[in-house]
A and B are shown apart, each in its own frame.
Chain A
């Protein structure tokens, strides 16, 4: 009994030193040298100022939460406020819940209000892509679907006085394909896309 307690106590302390401290420190050291950008979250800077991470979604809204029409809009988020990476959470909307239906219907309404008048032939609920109406899992999903981006492209082109071809060119530039060609789905990185739009404006 006593021998087991001593052995276990020493074992736990050694385990803490090796697996709890030495292991993460070693991985951090190597990562910081070999994959510096990734290890620090793929930070993006504009004019020397940090504006986000390439792989963390942001809400492109004003301070009151109204969408800014000149920017591509991210997916709906379940965090408070939207796209809050310091407090991620699922929305936890159930599949058969009236609350879920109302939330999805509100997202559809907002999407149509924002994009409907620019989209040829107008939009209705059946034409809204699921990723634009459904809450993401992380609340900070950096991507939107290609269809979602293509629909928003009409608005962006009109608001920013750009040709549709220019916007589509940027969309395909910032679309990442499936992992290994089959795993997952293609997604368009919203932050990178919006940064590229801003660069167009400043460097014509």
Chain B
């Protein structure tokens, strides 16, 4: 461990908080319809969008109407991206397929389309050997925008339900999506992509570079519109890499500075939404309490992961390597990590992208030490509530808040209420279902894939052997897909591709369909429950807080909330985690 490593961690927390507070006020203004500095630019395209989409933005929707619009919008998006990916070869006339890539097989395409639609960005394919520039831009990036917007608007709808003083309205789905894209995602992505290019990311439509180096061997360097893709992939917590190795690739993440910058981009909206929440419900302290909860859990994860990775792995020690920091060398478990990021830059990045639903990685998760690798498992086990994805993090933790209020209410023997609204049996039923769907999907799929030979076909036996690592690969694959995260213990595969460009490639149907199904189910079912809770709360009368009202904005509640999150995650996942990463972390044994 180094001073610069610790400094990075604490500066990151400081800078993030300093950016998230004003950003939170901005988000609150956007969704409350207040004036912002972008209004003079965006009002005209906004009105134009409503006119051609035939949307009446003044028509408010109740939760069922809101959910119906959301589901249909997503269904149309799924059909569009599936169509674009399956017809990849036909779009070569645009000039955006210089390498002449063909389509992926149907099973892998099903997985990929579901993956990008649900903000998961699980990738069985490698970008530079599979995807044309057209597919990356017009297919994948569009869903990066759409899925991020859908996540955010669900959170906004739930906030409106909690804050609502009259009626059952949650706002208008299409208006919220349009405003999210025009006021937030598009302008920010534009600025972020230019910053990345200025630091060394590439942005072109060229044919790959073929050349002979000074050592006289033939080589190829991949090209493409990387920076524009990278910006929205991080900002929308999508995480799908332009290249197979994601943010480890020097064109996606060129320097130590961009690594820090990219981590901030990932957490910016999830962190800001928490402050926006406090502002929109008219009780900023509620936002601070949730932010504190998230930050405590985040810091815990980062610190454990950094210490574990700096210690080095049993395989390194068995081979005779010394893993202490020495002058001019990072030390630690540098297996599967880049020199320019070092141990700290890799550990923090992967914690940032697994607490959120981003799932981008700048180092190989599969090569993390047992305990260092258990941290991403634990982050996912918390069901993406430690900041979480854009929007999804906030609406998921709000479900946990309601659960904590309910448990707290039982303890003190009073009718549970949150922000003056009574929490009844109906709400708690919906909350419980919303919380349980993701863990159930993850465990069900893991069990199925571990128990069947079709599932075990995806394991990378050449690397993982038959030990705990093989189980970790499988477990992580379905945990990641069910949580819509998208990071991977990358040995696990659902796509066999002997040649670049998809000639002669085939998918593993079991892994492709099971994973794709898990992503869709574990994305949309909780969204429906969150919207139902919003609708149920929206119409409730607010009773003034009395002496006996349990406070939800102080340290006691933060501790209770962390307890509930850890308890649900631990009870559900701890036994399975013991069999994979933890057993490796506790022994020095090699398998």
Show the binding face of A for B, using Cβ within 8 Å. 1, 3-12, 14-16, 18-21, 23-24, 26-28, 30-32, 34-35, 38-43, 46, 49-53, 55-63, 68, 71, 75, 78, 83-101, 104-105, 108, 124-131, 133-148, 150, 176, 178-180, 182-187, 194-195, 198
Contact indicator B227/A15 (Cβ below 8 Å) = no
- Which residue in chain A gives the minimum CB-CB distance to B249? A138
Q: In chain B between 480 and 496, which residues have their CB closer than 8 angstroms to a CB of chain A?
A: 489-491
A135 touches B250 (CB 8 A): no
Q: In whole angstroms, what is the CA distance A75 to B588 when docked?
A: 26
Given contacts A125-B319, A143-B338, 19 further A-B contacts (CB under 8 A): A4-B72, A8-B73, A20-B138, A27-B197, A34-B197, A56-B221, A68-B215, A86-B208, A91-B335, A91-B364, A96-B584, A96-B588, A104-B315, A134-B321, A137-B245, A141-B250, A141-B339, A141-B340, A194-B214
| A130 smallest CB distance to B (angstroms) | 4
Question: Are B139's CB and A20's CB within 8 A?
Answer: yes
Task: With both chains docked as a complex, state the minimum distance between the C-beta of A195 and any C-beta of chain B, in angstroms.
Answer: 7
**Sample of 30 A–B contacts (CB below 8 Å):** A4-B69, A5-B72, A6-B54, A8-B76, A12-B146, A21-B138, A27-B227, A34-B197, A42-B200, A49-B212, A50-B211, A61-B215, A86-B129, A87-B128, A91-B364, A93-B367, A94-B463, A94-B467, A95-B313, A95-B314, A95-B333, A104-B315, A104-B319, A128-B321, A137-B364, A143-B338, A143-B339, A179-B258, A184-B340, A198-B214
A51 touches B128 (CB 8 A): no
CA distance A24 to B141 in the complex (A): 9
In the assembly, what is the distance between CA of A24 and CA of B181, in Å?
15
How long is the Cα–Cα vector from A8 to B75 in the complex, in angstroms? 9
Give complex CA distance A102, B230 in Å: 36
Point out the residues of chain A lying under 8 angstroms from B68, CB to CB: 1, 4
CB distance B489 to A92 under 8 Å? yes
Q: Which residues of A contact B345 (CB under 8 A)?
A: 183-185
Residue of A nearest to B50 (CB): A7
Q: Is the CB of B370 within 8 A of A41?
A: no
User: Are B329 and A39 neighbours in the complex by a CB distance under 8 Å?
Assistant: no
Contact B339 A96 (CB under 8 A): no
The size bracket of the interface on B is 35 or more
Greatest chain B CB density within 10 A among A6, A28, A134 is at: A134
Given A11-B174, A61-B217, A90-B336: A184 and B341 interface contact (C-beta under 8 Å): yes
CA distance A86 to B214 in the complex (A): 18
Within 8 Å by CB of B194, from A31, A125, A187, lies A31
- Residue from A57, A138, A143 with most neighbouring chain B CB atoms (10 Å): A138
CA distance A179 to B208 in the complex (A): 29
Q: Which residues does B use to contact A, with CB under 8 Å?
A: 4, 7-8, 11, 49, 52-55, 68-69, 72-73, 75-77, 80, 126, 128-129, 137-139, 141-142, 145-146, 174, 177, 181, 185-186, 189-190, 193-194, 197-206, 208-209, 211-217, 219-223, 225, 227-229, 232, 243-245, 248-251, 254-260, 312-316, 318-323, 326-342, 345-346, 362-364, 366-370, 372-373, 460, 462-465, 467-469, 489-491, 500, 584, 587-591
Closest to A28 in B: B203
**In the complex, A100 Cα to B491 Cα: how many Å?**
14
Chain A residues, CB < 8 A from B489: 92
Chain B residue at minimal CB-CB distance from A142: B250
Known contacts A7-B55, A16-B138, A38-B201: A52-B221 contact under CB 8 Å: yes
Given contacts A95-B584, A179-B260, contact A41 B141 (CB under 8 A): no
Q: Are B197 and A130 in contact (CB under 8 A)?
A: no
In the complex, the answer to whether B373 meets A95 with C-beta atoms within 8 Å is: yes
> What chain A residues lie within 8 Å of B334 (beta carbons)?
130-131, 134
Bound-state CA distance A142–B250 (Å) is 8
Which B residues are in CB contact (< 8 Å) with A88? 126, 128, 222, 243-245, 249
Q: Which of B212, B331, B368 contacts A130 (CB 8 A)?
A: B331
Are A134 and B249 CB-contacts (below 8 A) given A87-B500, A94-B366, A125-B321?
Answer: no
